[in-house]
Structure 1
Amino acid sequence: MGVEEFFYRYFVEPIKYNQGYNPVNTLVYAIILGVMVLLLYKMLKRMGIKVDERFFLALVPYIVLGPLMRAITDKGLLPRTYLTVSPGGYFVIAAFAIASLFAVWRHLGPDERLYPIYRDFGWVLVGGLVFIIIINWGKLSARWEYFKYFIPSLAVSEAFIWALAKKFKLIADNKVLFYTHFYDATTTFVGIQFFGFWEQHVLARTLIDLTGTPAVMYLEKLLVLIPVVYILDRMMEDEDPELINFVKLVIFVLGFGPGTRNLLITLLG
């Protein structure tokens, strides 16, 4: 198999024919993500921008932007191209977020005003996508019954995390991450169990096939998150705290983004 055929089979076809992820592209995308995390962190350090609550709040609209763009693309309101579906769409949003941050920083430096200006520009972009939904609302068929399944499922799953956080300090110290990823697991569970959707990611798809139920997503989240946060909190205690915070921010995005995408795709019909 030549390089071109290999690339087409494992990277182009899954996007072109909506086949989901495979072990090869999953590994490559994971490596790219890891490299990007380190490069972005170094960039923030050189810019004098701290990874704190102010930065997180300023980043929220860009976190919303990715799943919103993906959802309206899947509903045909934006053209389906390599730049509007995952992972290309997320690279585009990341590029927007980085370029916007750099532009504001060039003008203000690491000034207190940087955060609200950067945040507001992101909300303008989100507003543009919401406007597209509004003017095309007649083409959509909202499934309001979605909440009949989603709300009780979410309540039970988050109550489970609340109970675990009472007993285990590791989970209590990272409960936002666990809450967020159980939100993601709930959107997957409801979408597959009640609305006939399917799982795109390799590990989750394999577990669902083996167990016969999308409820296994909750177990998968625990099996992945617990060792990850253990490594970050217990084995990397001497590392830069801001690096740990940035990695946790990325983990949050990896739960909130897909979860919100799932919710919107299912809800919009």
Structure 2
Amino acid sequence: MYYKLVLSHYSKTSTLINITLIKHLINILRERMIQEIKNFIYKYYIEPAEKGTGYNIVQEITYGIILALALYLFYKALRKLNINIDEKFAIPGIVFTVLIALMRALVDCGYIERSFLTITPGIVFLIGGFFILTILTTGLVFKEKYYKASAVIGLILLLYFLFVFLQHITHLEAILYVGILVGIFYYLVKFLDKTLKLNIIQSKIDDYVVIGQLIDASATTIGIGVYGYWEQHPIPRFLMETFGVYAFIPFKLLIILLALYILNKEVEDENIKNIIKLCIMALGLAPGLRDLFRTVMGV
């Protein structure tokens, strides 16, 4: 009897010890997992922003997923308000894209304090969120005139920061260099598209896409090739290191024209097609103008 009591007590004690050990191990694993997640976030998202070391593949994929999700939700909201994604919609879109680029450049020159919300991707979330809110609000209030009201709101903010920018100009000639490259390649594309009857450029939005991406490629080329800047994004950086800085423009142009060809041929819904195109435009125009503004200010 005594033996059974001792055995029972030992068994209960052993069970309690095992449970305690398991809980302790779970806590250790949980703490280590949380720490690993924190280290991962810091290494791939926070540290590059703090040190200005450029973007990495993990960031590119993450922001791509966030962008796709945001576009989907925004598109659904636009359809409920019967707002078509067309040339009118593009007007405030361009204004707010320029605003993002100019504000980001003014962060680089020190006029705007550097923080998560004033650098990429924070500034895109901030101004992009404000753009979405502006479009949806003006769509409810002004109906079919929404694009005019949205553009005016964006222009008010843009004009203020443009005034600040004009006070920091040091390399005005950079605008001329970029403008010449954009003009040459844009009219070359238009000429070849018409002469060869490729029918790739089918609308003004297609023109906006080509011009937006050409501004990015040209500003990058001039910034690196003439003024000694460096490319933050890993894929363009690899291409320029491999094939040379000036090969970047025709390479990027080829990719964009291929994307437009596929969209125009395969996507029938005009709203879906145009929101994708405008997104492609913004992904070129925003960093391109930021690079150009930085170069002009000598930052």
Q: TM-score scaled to structure 2, two decimals?
A: 0.80
Are 1:99 and 2:133 matched, yes or no? yes
| TM alignment of 1:107-126, pairs within 5 A | 108=141, 111-126=143-158
Identity of aligned pairs, percent?
31
- Per the TM alignment, residue 89 of structure 1 is displaced from its structure 2 partner at its CA by 0.9
Q: Distance in 2 between matches of 1:257 and 1:147?
A: 15
- What secondary structure, in the 3-state scheme, does the structure 1 residue paired with 2:144 have? coil
Question: Match of 1:225?
Answer: 256
Are 1:185 and 2:217 matched, yes or no? yes
Change (3 A) 1:216 1:168: farther
Q: Distance in 2 between matches of 1:102 and 1:179?
A: 27
Q: Distance in 1 between matches of 2:212 and 2:118?
A: 24
Moved more, 227-236 or 182-191: 227-236
Change (3 A) 1:260 1:193: same
Instruction: Give the length in aligned residue pairs.
Output: 260
Give the one of 16, 32, 52 matched to 2:86: 52
Structure with a larger share of its residues in helix: 2
- What secondary structure, in the 3-state scheme, does the structure 2 residue paired with 1:143 have? coil
Q: Distance in 2 between matches of 1:105 and 1:218?
A: 37
- Per the TM alignment, residue 266 of structure 1 is displaced from its structure 2 partner at its CA by 0.4
Please give the per-residue CA displacement for 1:202-229, whole angstroms capped at 9, x wherever unaligned.
1100111112x21122233134324422
Give the one of 257, 275, 280 matched to 1:246: 275
- Per the TM alignment, residue 156 of structure 1 is displaced from its structure 2 partner at its CA by 2.9
Are 1:11 and 2:39 matched, yes or no? no
Give the one of 156, 161, 171 matched to 2:184: 156
Give the one of 133, 142, 146 matched to 2:170: 142
- What secondary structure, in the 3-state scheme, does the structure 2 residue paired with 1:197 have? coil
Amino acid in structure 2 at the alignment position of 1:190: I
CA RMSD for the aligned pairs? 2.0
Asked whether the equivalents of residues 177 and 252 of structure 1 are also in contact (C-alpha less than 8 Å), the reply is yes
Q: Distance in 2 between matches of 1:152 and 1:130?
A: 22
- What secondary structure, in the 3-state scheme, does the structure 2 residue paired with 1:215 have? helix
Amino acid in structure 2 at the alignment position of 1:169: L
Question: Match of 2:23?
Answer: none
| TM alignment of 1:74-85, pairs within 5 A | 74-85=108-119
Moved more, 89-98 or 175-184: 175-184
Are 1:169 and 2:201 matched, yes or no? no
Change (3 A) 1:147 1:257: closer
Asked whether the equivalents of residues 83 and 139 of structure 2 are also in contact (C-alpha less than 8 Å), the reply is no
Change (3 A) 1:178 1:82: same
Q: Give 1 or 2 for the bigger CA radius of gyration.
A: 2
Are 1:31 and 2:62 matched, yes or no? no
Change (3 A) 1:10 1:242: same
| TM alignment of 1:192-203, pairs within 5 A | 192-203=224-235
- Per the TM alignment, residue 150 of structure 1 is displaced from its structure 2 partner at its CA by 2.8
Q: Distance in 2 between matches of 1:5 and 1:230?
A: 42
- What secondary structure, in the 3-state scheme, does the structure 1 residue paired with 2:115 have? coil
Q: Distance in 2 between matches of 1:43 and 1:58?
A: 17
Q: Distance in 1 between matches of 2:270 and 2:233?
A: 31
Q: Distance in 2 between matches of 1:70 and 1:168?
A: 40
Amino acid in structure 2 at the alignment position of 1:84: T
Change (3 A) 1:132 1:155: closer
Change (3 A) 1:62 1:155: closer
Question: Match of 1:262?
Answer: 291
- Per the TM alignment, residue 248 of structure 1 is displaced from its structure 2 partner at its CA by 0.9
